[in-house]
Structure 1
Amino acid sequence: MKKIFCFLLILSLSAFGFYPSVSSASEKSQQEVKEAKQYVQKHVPILKNEFKKLSRSSSLEDIESLIEKHFKEYPAPQSLKSNKISVFDAFPEKQHKYEKFSGKSLNLNNLLNDIKTSSTGDVFTFESKDNTVKVLLGEFGDINILEQKSISNPSVSKAKTTKATGIQRQTGIGYGTYGTKLYTLWCEGNFSYNGKTVKVISKDGDYHKHPSGSILTLDPRGLGKERDASIGKYKYKEVFSRLRVEGVLGFKWGEWIYKARTVETYIGSTVDGNIYGGLKSYK
């Protein structure tokens, strides 16, 4: 079965350390701002190099283990962890670049497919037999992960007129700027197809807010739901999970900073059993 991997930058809701802090300029220690800037400038190139050295066949578990180990070795300054200051206090010249996209609906396929067109950061791809993981390492050290994985094998009906894709799962994980795992959102579906029609056989989905993501408010707006995504004569079926995410200080999603967004992971199939998936975001 052919597979089309449309990797969207999932739920890169890296909530900590982005929006300007609430303290006044006089309350912010210049030493703390300098410390935050030096921290980002030091550890991000090291993390980038660690991802480059990681085997291209590494699993999601391997990737998350690398992240955990890195931030234990390079812990963030307390001023960043407590949101006393933000990376925009350390890099004020960067703020306008991110805020200018505020209010727009976004689809991040292009960002992962052609990272050279963006100043967001670096994309690393890891592939094995049954899954592909893409990691976006942002310029401030924020990390966004998208995994597409085959949970079960394809099958064929006894009459050999209908085939099934097997269960396919799309997972998105968002990390903060200093290695804190904030949330996970996923959906999965099994699709039957015969070259003319496509149907959803099974569907599921869920989300998880990790302890470090307590600053976020997560409101599910549909988990493991089915929809017809057909366009004219082209037939598609999808399963999606949708979540409203709000952050006190704002969160970073790819190139954009928001205080609130509705995001969804989705997985779909064509009438020929081609699988695609990713993330969409709405205001």
Structure 2
Amino acid sequence: MKRMITLVLCLPLVFSLVGFSAKAEASEKDEIRQYLETNVALLQHTFDNLPKHSTKDQIDRAIEEHYKKYPTPQRIKNTSLNELDVFPELEEKYKKIKQQDIKLQYSTDEELNNILEKVYTFKKDNSTVRVFLGEIGDIQVMEQTSTPDNSTSKDASTQAVTNMERNTVTAYAVLGGARVFNVWAEGKFQYDKKKKTVKVVHKDGDYRKFIAGSLLQIEEKKMGESRVADQGKYVYREVYSRIYVEAILGFKFGGVVFNSGLAEVYVGAGSNGATYGGQKKL
């Protein structure tokens, strides 16, 4: 009987603690949501004021300076909640985005804005940089460089070689804006417009970690590998790099916010010599 009475007396305390925990979590979610929504407007202001010829290094510095000026509160950085806990409505959207490749040349800013909320394009010399800013302040930066090759020919009757194409994608932490990692793929392609053929004549790829220790683990899957990417009667070849990433921090890649999974970046060319670059979460 004494044990039963003790159990009955303890039950209200258990339910009270559960209720308190639920209220605390709801309050924490509201605080994170409010912070992220406010930060988006501030980030938009930061990118709107960058010159259109800004380089990737200048963009990185602008992001770093932004978070120095508007630091993420430490209690938010230390949260055990992930982004989808706070914004569950994004889950369905991410499922759709994961089915799409984000290509540079074949997508206008307007088209990309419809997919990825807000896109900023910066061009200088042989570099095109696109900054993708999501609705919760999630950032990813994709840079494609096209280095001229003296052997490149525009004559459709002859065999020619494309420029050296490199596509680099950098992922940033959603909370705090720190660079997490980048991964790149590089390729050069020989093509023949008359014969409708294309082949890879140079391929390379690699990745770089910006966070040390156990907070970030990266496993190479494919680095600078070539593949056939034909679409029906159209002939394409690609060079791609693929890594498996596992991180404590949520980051954005391929238009999706996550903290573990496969990330891929690639460059490609068709038999007409047109080149492209893209990224995706697998």
Q: TM-score, normalised by structure 2?
A: 0.77
Give the aligned CA root-mean-square deviation in angstroms: 3.1
Partner of residue 189 from structure 2, selected from 188, 191, 198: 191
Question: What count of residue pairs does the alignment treat as equivalent?
Answer: 253
Moved more, 40-49 or 250-259: 250-259
Relative contact order: is structure 1 or structure 2 higher (C-alpha 8 Å, sep ≥ 6)? Answer: 1
Shift of 1:187: 0.4
Shift of 1:191: 1.0
Partner of residue 164 from structure 1, selected from 161, 166, 169: 161
1:68 matched to which residue of 2?
64
Partner of residue 107 from structure 1, selected from 100, 108, 113: 100
Q: Give the helix-richer structure, 1 or 2.
A: 2
- Closer, same or farther: CA 131–53 of 1 in aligned 2, 3 Å: same
Which aligned pairs between 1:117-156 and structure 2 lie closer than 5 A? 117-118=114-115, 120-156=116-152
User: What one-letter code is carried by the residue in structure 2 that aligns with 1:134?
Assistant: R
- Secondary structure, aligned partner of 2:58: helix
- 2:180–2:251 contact (8 Å) kept in structure 1: no
Shift of 1:175: 0.3
Moved more, 259-268 or 269-278: 259-268
CA distance in structure 2 between the partners assigned to 1:55 and 1:229 by the alignment: 36
The reply on whether 1:246 has 2:216 as its aligned counterpart is no
CA distance in structure 2 between the partners assigned to 1:191 and 1:202 by the alignment: 7
- 2:109–2:121 contact (8 Å) kept in structure 1: no
The reply on whether 1:46 has 2:42 as its aligned counterpart is yes
Larger Rg: 2
- 1:183–1:213 contact (8 Å) kept in structure 2: no
- 2:229–2:235 contact (8 Å) kept in structure 1: yes
Unaligned runs of 5+ in 1: 1-23
- Secondary structure, aligned partner of 2:79: coil
1:97 matched to which residue of 2?
90
- Closer, same or farther: CA 240–154 of 1 in aligned 2, 3 Å: farther
CA distance in structure 2 between the partners assigned to 1:134 and 1:213 by the alignment: 29
CA distance in structure 2 between the partners assigned to 1:141 and 1:100 by the alignment: 16
- Closer, same or farther: CA 113–214 of 1 in aligned 2, 3 Å: farther
Q: Deviations over 1:175-208 (max 9, x none)?
A: 0122110010000011112212212111100011
Q: Deviations over 1:226-249 (max 9, x none)?
A: 112123432111110011223457
1:173 matched to which residue of 2?
170
- 1:79–1:85 contact (8 Å) kept in structure 2: no
- Secondary structure, aligned partner of 2:136: coil
1:266 matched to which residue of 2?
266
Q: Deviations over 1:92-137 (max 9, x none)?
A: 4x3133256559852243796524534x531111112311111111
Unaligned runs of 5+ in 2: 1-20
- Closer, same or farther: CA 259–116 of 1 in aligned 2, 3 Å: closer
- Secondary structure, aligned partner of 2:223: coil
2:18 matched to which residue of 1?
none
- Secondary structure, aligned partner of 1:139: coil
CA distance in structure 2 between the partners assigned to 1:82 and 1:230 by the alignment: 46
State, as a whole percentage, how many aligned pairs show the same letter: 36
- 1:143–1:175 contact (8 Å) kept in structure 2: yes
Q: TM-score, normalised by structure 1?
A: 0.77
2:8 matched to which residue of 1?
none
CA distance in structure 2 between the partners assigned to 1:166 and 1:100 by the alignment: 36
2:11 matched to which residue of 1?
none
User: What one-letter code is carried by the residue in structure 2 that aligns with 1:174?
Assistant: A
